[in-house]
Amino acid sequence: MPRPFALTPGEPAGIGPDLCLLLSRQAQPHVLVAVASRALLANRAAQLGLTIELHEVDPQALPQQPAAAGQLYVWDTPLAEPAVAGQLNPANASYVLNTLQRAGQGCLDGLFAGMITAPVHKGVINEAGIPFSGHTELLAELTHTEQVVMMLATRGLRVALVTTHLPLREVADAITGERLQRVTRILHADLHSKFGIAQPRILVCGLNPHAGEGGHLGREEIDIIAPALEQLRGEGMQLIGPLPADTLFTPKHLEQADAVLAMYHDQGLPVLKYKGFGAAVNVTLGLPIIRTSVDHGTALDLAGSGRIDCGSLQVALETAYQMAAASGR
């Protein structure tokens, strides 16, 4: 059995604590430790009308057997101030970062096989005077990782991104041969080492409509993308493309693919979210640790209501378990 997994509930005023509690109603196949405020979880359980036994654990002596249904292991991480469902409080920004740092460092130290994260609220952390751009950047800094890759996955489809959160007018300039090769190497390596795929087969989107139409609709495919892919094929990678994005996401192409590499955020993710919204997972590739996350936000308006779906968190857990098994953690 792999080492325990860390679960961070994210923004305390959001639905992250609710997700952790609702999920704990069913037994998990592996030891799962919520790195969170025990008081927060107890208060939210009472608000939701849930009877969940919260067992505080020592990180240096973590349990070896999964918790039973209706129980949750907790590495108590105190809040600065009591949290109210739906009401952001900048005073608790440091609490959110503490949970992430504890979980991430625990993975580096070998305490955890991987970490699963519920959504944070970037705005309130920045309002607290703490520069913060997201989970990915924090974990990259913690693990001293220069380059990471964002990949979203749902059952039957994985989509990785060459560029992520850029204005559309900046995307073309950001697509360089060097960047494309760096991202592709990370994607290929992690599909092999963390997903157990011996020879990953990756479909690569073109940047322009019709993949440039032979240069009539843009030359990025001819001048940048195709030469970069050809060099990578020389390293033994199975890369198909650049292909027109409007026809790539069809069964004929996808049925034999292990992943799709999209050039920008809204090229690949709308398709994936249409296919698996509520049951998709965000995976950070390139890190020396395993990190998966839900594909949705904090949903402040639903916190404490009980009207939420745990599907994305369940898929995030399952993906982390599979990655740990494939990489022998």
Q: Which two tokens stand for residue 265?
A: 């955020």
Both tokens of residue 313? 């968190």
Q: Which of 160, 311, 322 is nearest to 241 (CA)?
A: 160
SS3 percent helix, strand, coil of the chain, rounded to 5, is 40, 20, 40
Q: Known binder of ligand: residue 192?
A: no
Q: With the C-alpha atoms ordered 244, 249, 255, 257, is the resulting torsion angle positive or negative?
A: positive
- CB 10, CB 119: distance < 8 Å: yes
CA nearest to 166, candidates 197, 194, 216, 207? 207
Query: Is 291 a known ligand-binding residue?
Result: yes
**Rounded Cα–Cα distance for residues 202 and 215 (Å):** 23
Phi, psi of 295 (to 5 degrees): -105, 20
* 216 assigned to a ligand binding site: no
Q: How far apart are CA 280 and CA 258, in angstroms?
A: 16
Does residue 229 contact residue 239 with C-beta atoms inside 8 Å? yes
If you count them, how many residues does the chain have?
329
Known binding residue 136? Answer is yes
Compute CA distances 143 → 59, 89, 140, 238, 268, whole Å: 19, 28, 5, 29, 28
Rounded to 5 degrees, φ, ψ at 72 are -145, 125
Task: Confirm or deny that 265 is annotated as ligand binding.
Answer: yes
Report the distance separating Cα 114 and Cα 130, nearest Å.
25
Q: What's the CA gap between 209 and 246, in Å, rounded?
A: 8
Binding-site residues for substrate: 135-136, 273, 282, 291
Binding-site residues for a divalent metal cation: 165, 210, 265
Binding-site residues: 135-136, 165, 210, 265, 273, 282, 291
